[in-house]
Chains A and B, each alone.
Chain A
Amino acid sequence: MTRLAHWRAVWPLAATLALAGCGGGPAAEGENEAALEPVAGGTCVVGLFSDYDSLNEFVSTDANATDVMENLLYMPLLRWNADIELEGRLAKSWEFSDDGRDVTMELRDDIRWHDGVPTTADDVAFSFERFRDPALGYPDQGALRYLESVEVLGLHRVRFHFTQPYADQLAHLRKVIMPKHLLEGTPSAEMESAPFNRNPVGNGPFKFVRWRQQQEVVLEANEDFPDGRPRLDRIVIRTIPDQTAIETALRSGQVDVVDRLRYETIDSFRRDSAFQVLGYEQRGYQFVGWNLRDPLFADERVRLAMTLAINRQRILDALVFGEGKVTANPVMSLSPFYADDIDPHPYAPDSAKALLAEVGWSDTNGDGVLDKDGKPFEFTLVTNLGNQLREDTLVMIQDDLKRVGVTVVPEVREWSIFLDEVTHKRFQAFHMAWQTDFIVNPYDTFHSDAIEGKYNICSYSNPRVDALIDEGLLQRTREAAMPIWHEYQEILHREQPYTILFELRYSVGASKRIRGMEIDARGTFVNAEEWWIALKDRKYAS
C-alpha cells in the first residue's frame, strides 16, 4: 500500500514538470461580441502585489493607495484628464484674481460623504489646513509652501490665497479632500494611527465595505453617486505578494486584473485570446547618475562619452523585450513639457572613444583598458537590491563600457543601505529611477541649493540652470513655461549629469470578461466607473 501511495505522490510532480512548459488558458468562445451593451452589475477582482498602507490622504505614502483614493473612494478637487490637462472633479469652476495670487473656486453642491453628510467648502478648508500642518508630516507638504490660507466664502465656495503666483498653483490643488466631520477630532500627531485609516468614509463613485489587512479591500458601487452609479457592483482588491502567484491567479481566473505583468509573460498573455493586455508609460525614467565630485566624472565630455557608449536600445530589447523607449530628458515623455525635438544621444562607441581620448584616456599598456597617468579607467556602479531589471542593467552597461575600454564594477546594495550611500555621496556612479509627475519641478534634483540635500545626488551645479529653474517655477501659463523648460532640458542634454536610459512601459493584464477598461499613466482605476461585465461572464454571487 505504501509503495503505491508513494508513486502517486511522485507522478503528478513529474507530469507537472512537463506541463509547466505549456502556456495559455482556455480560448474565448467565438460569439458575436459586438452586440453586447454595457450593463450594470458584477464583481471585478483586482490583484495587488503589496497591501496599501492606509486609505487616508493625510497619512498614505503609497502610490497604489493614491490610485484607489483619487479614482474610486474619494473626489479630488481637480484631476488630470486624458490629455494631461486639469479638469474639475469636486471643483466645478475656478477663477484667478488679476494678480494671480488668489484662486476662487466653486464646488459641486451635489456630492455627499457616504454617511450622508454633504461635502462642503469646510471640508476643503479643513483638508488644506491639515495638509499644511507641520505636525501632520504630510509628505506633499512642500508643494503647498506658497499657499497662505484657504478662505471659506460660502457653502460651496472657497478661495485659496497664495503668497505669489506660480506655474503649478492649480496642479498643487489636485488633492483628495477628507471629511472634516469625521477627522477634525483627531489631532494631527495621532492621525497616523486613526481608525479611519482602515475604515474610510469617502464621497466618490465607490463606497468602502471592508478591509482585511494583508488580504483584501472590498469596495461597492455608490448607488447615490450624482453622476450615475458605476457599472460594477463591487471591486475586490486582493493582496498576493508573489509575482508568479499573482499571474497564476490571473490565468486561473481567481483575479481579473493584474498590474505590471512580468516582461517575459506579457507576450503569452497577448497571444491568449482570453486576456487583454493594456500598456501604459512609466511615470518616471531610468537613469545612471554620475558623481560630479569624482575626478573621473567631473568633465562633461567623459559623461557624454559614457552615454554614447551605452547601447540603451539593446538593454531595452534584451531585458524588457522592447517594452519602453529610449528617452533624452529627465522629464516624463507624456508631460507637455517634454522636449520632443531633443533626440536621445545615439549609440556611438567610436565617438565615445574619441571623446575619452580628447580628455587624455588611452590604452598605453595594451591591456584593453583605458588608462591615464598610470591609473586604469575603472569605477563602481551601484544599484539597489530587489529589482532584477536594475541588476541586469548593470551587467549590460558593464559589457557596453568594456568595449570602449572602461571597466565597471557592478555592486548591488539593499535599498536602505543604497540610499544611505548615495545621499551621503559615497559612490561613483549609481543606477536608479525617479518617479515624476506630469509637471516639472527639478529643484531638488538639479538646483545647486539642493546639493547638500538628499536628491541632488550628483552634486550638479550650473548657475544658468539654477536661474531657469527659479524662473520656470514662477511662470503662470504653460506657454510661458515651455521655452524655459526647453532650455533647461537642452543644457542637461549637453552636460549629462545623468545618462538617461529609458522610460519603461508597464502592462496591465486583465481577463477579457472586464470590458470597457482604459488604462494610462494616470493610474489603473482612471475609468473604473465605466468597467462592466456582460451577463454571461458573471462569476460571483452577490
Chain B
Amino acid sequence: MIRYIVRRVLVSIPLIWALATLTFFIIRLAPGDPLAMYYSPEIDPAVMETIRVRLGLDQPLHVQYVKWIVSLAQGELGVSFSHHRPVADILVEAIPNTLVLTVWALVLDLVVGVLIGVISAIRQYSWTDNLITVGALFVYSMPSFWLGLMLIILFSLKLGWLPASQMESVDAEYMTAAGRFWDRALHLVMPVFVLGIASAASVARYMRGSLLEVIRQDYIRTARAKGLPESMVVFKHALLNALIPIITLLGLYLPFLMSGSVITETIFAWPGMGRVTVGAIFARDYPIVMAMNLVAGVMVVAGNLLADVLYGVVDPRIRYD
C-alpha cells in the first residue's frame, strides 16, 4: 500500500508540472492586457511602461515562463497584479474562509444526502420515495443565485431572522465569545444551505442506488434470517457497505473544498477563493490564476489518491500493489 501511494505521488509531479505549464500559456493566449485597469487619459503612458516592466510583462514569453517555474520551485507564488500584494497572502486569507463554508456544506451534503438516500431506498417506489425523488430534483435544478437571493429576501428582509451577508456582524468584536460564535453560526446558515443542498440531492441519488444494490445481497438476507432487527441490518451492515461509492465522491469533492463557489460567495458577500479567482481571471491577474490552478490541480490529484486509498481501506477485497 505504501509503495502504491509513493508511486502515485511520484507520477503526479510531472502531471502537476504539465498542468502549470499549460495554464501559464493558455491564460496568456486570452486577448487582453493585465494593465487594462490603468486605462485613462489622465494616466501617463510612461507609467504603464514602468508597471509593465515591474511586473515582468515586457520580457519574452519563454523568459517569463522560466522565471516563474524557478520561483515556483522555491515556493514563491508571485505578486498579484490587481491586489498589489503577494499571492500567498491572498490565498492564506481567502482559503480558510472558503474552507469554513465548504466543509460545513460537505457535512450538510453528506448527512442530508445519505439520510434521504437511505429513506428513499428503504421505501423504494413508495409515495415517500417518489416525493423525495421529485423534491431532490426540484432543489437540484434551482440555480444557486436565485435560491440564495430568495432565501435572503425571505429570511433577512421579510422575517429578519438571519443576516443577509458577510461572515459576521458589524459589532461582532464587542460580543462575548459565545455571542460571537452564535453570530458566526447565524451567518453560515444560508450560504451553507445553498451550497450544500444541491449536491445533497445527487448524493441522495447515489446513496439510494448503492443501497438498493447492497440490500439485495445474500449476506443481508442472511443477517435478516439470523433474526437481527431491521434497523441493525440496514444501518450497520447494509449502509456501511453502501457508503463505498460515496467515498469516491468525497475524494472528487476535495478540489472544490478549496476553490469554493463563486456564485454563493458573491451573493452572500463571503470573502472566499471563488470570488478571488473569478475576479483575477477578468483582470488578467496571471499570478493569482496560475496559483489557483496549481492549488486546484494538486487538490484533484490528492483527492483522487485519497479516494483510491480510502477505497482500499474500507473494502478488504481491494488490494493495491
Is A185 in the interface zone, CB < 8 Å from B?
no
Is B108 in the interface zone, CB < 8 Å from A?
no
A139-B47, A542-B171 given as contacts; is B152 within 8 A of A245 (CB)?
yes
Q: Which residues of the partner chain A approach B152 to less than 8 Å between Cβ atoms?
A: 245, 248
Q: Which residues of the partner chain B approach A138 to less than 8 Å between Cβ atoms?
A: 47
Q: Interface 1/0s, chain A 193-224, versus B by CB < 8 A?
A: 10001100000000000001111100000000
Pairwise interchain contact B165-A214, C-beta atoms closer than 8 A: no
Determine the residue in chain A with the shortest Cβ distance to B33.
A416
Interchain CB contact (< 8 A) of B153 among A19, A25, A140: A19
- Give the CA-CA distance A439 to B160 in the complex, in Å: 47
Pairwise interchain contact A242-B127, C-beta atoms closer than 8 A: no
Distance of B265 from chain A, by nearest CB (Å): 9
Distance of A73 from chain B, by nearest CB (Å): 17
Question: Which stretch of A2-10, A147-155, A315-323 is in the interface?
Answer: A2-10
A213-B90, A254-B164, A541-B174 given as contacts; is B32 within 8 A of A437 (CB)?
no
**On chain A, which size bracket covers the interface?**
35 or more
Question: Which stretch of A32-40, A232-240, A529-537 is in the interface?
Answer: A232-240
Is A141 in the interface zone, CB < 8 Å from B?
yes
Distance of B115 from chain A, by nearest CB (Å): 9
Distance of A197 from chain B, by nearest CB (Å): 7
- Give the CA-CA distance A423 to B139 in the complex, in Å: 47
Q: Interface 1/0s, chain B 296-308, versus A by CB < 8 A?
A: 0000000000000
Distance of B229 from chain A, by nearest CB (Å): 19
Is B85 in the interface zone, CB < 8 Å from A?
yes
Q: Which residues of the partner chain B approach A542 to less than 8 Å between Cβ atoms?
A: 171, 174
Is A54 in the interface zone, CB < 8 Å from B?
yes
A3-B128, A444-B41 given as contacts; is B36 within 8 A of A419 (CB)?
yes
Determine the residue in chain B with the shortest Cβ distance to A136.
B50
Q: Interface 1/0s, chain B 35-51, versus A by CB < 8 A?
A: 01111111111111011
Distance of B3 from chain A, by nearest CB (Å): 43
Is B82 in the interface zone, CB < 8 Å from A?
yes
Pairwise interchain contact B271-A214, C-beta atoms closer than 8 A: yes
A-B pair number, CB within 8 angstroms: 187
Is A366 in the interface zone, CB < 8 Å from B?
no
Pairwise interchain contact B164-A249, C-beta atoms closer than 8 A: yes
Q: Which residues of the partner chain B approach A244 to less than 8 Å between Cβ atoms?
A: 149, 267
Pairwise interchain contact A193-B42, C-beta atoms closer than 8 A: no
- Give the CA-CA distance A254 to B164 in the complex, in Å: 7
Pairwise interchain contact B164-A193, C-beta atoms closer than 8 A: no
Interface of B is mostly: helix
Is A184 in the interface zone, CB < 8 Å from B?
no
Pairwise interchain contact A419-B41, C-beta atoms closer than 8 A: no
Pairwise interchain contact B150-A16, C-beta atoms closer than 8 A: yes
Q: Which residues of the partner chain B approach A198 to less than 8 Å between Cβ atoms?
A: 85
Is B131 in the interface zone, CB < 8 Å from A?
yes
Pairwise interchain contact A238-B166, C-beta atoms closer than 8 A: yes
Q: Interface 1/0s, chain B 134-153, versus A by CB < 8 A?
A: 01001100000000011111
Is A142 in the interface zone, CB < 8 Å from B?
yes
- Give the CA-CA distance A212 to B37 in the complex, in Å: 23
Determine the residue in chain B with the shortest Cβ distance to A423.
B39
A3-B128, A53-B84, A193-B84 given as contacts; is B266 within 8 A of A134 (CB)?
no
- Give the CA-CA distance A15 to B160 in the complex, in Å: 16
Q: Which residues of the partner chain A approach B95 to less than 8 Å between Cβ atoms?
A: none
Determine the residue in chain A with the shortest Cβ distance to B174.
A541
Per CB-CB distance, the 10 closest pairs between chain A and chain B, nearest first, are: A416-B32, A142-B44, A214-B271, A444-B41, A137-B50, A240-B269, A540-B171, A541-B174, A455-B41, A139-B43
A selection of 6 A-B contacts at a CB cut-off of 8 Å is A2-B119, A16-B151, A134-B50, A244-B149, A252-B157, A445-B41
- A20-B153, A245-B152 provided; 8 other pairs, C-beta below 8 A? A248-B157, A254-B163, A419-B32, A420-B31, A420-B33, A444-B41, A540-B174, A541-B174
Interface residues of A (CB under 8 A from B): 2-3, 6, 9-10, 12-13, 15-17, 19-20, 25, 43, 45, 53-54, 59, 61, 134-143, 145, 189, 192-193, 197-198, 212-216, 236, 238-242, 244-246, 248-249, 251-252, 254, 414-417, 419-420, 423, 434-435, 437, 441, 443-445, 453-455, 540-542
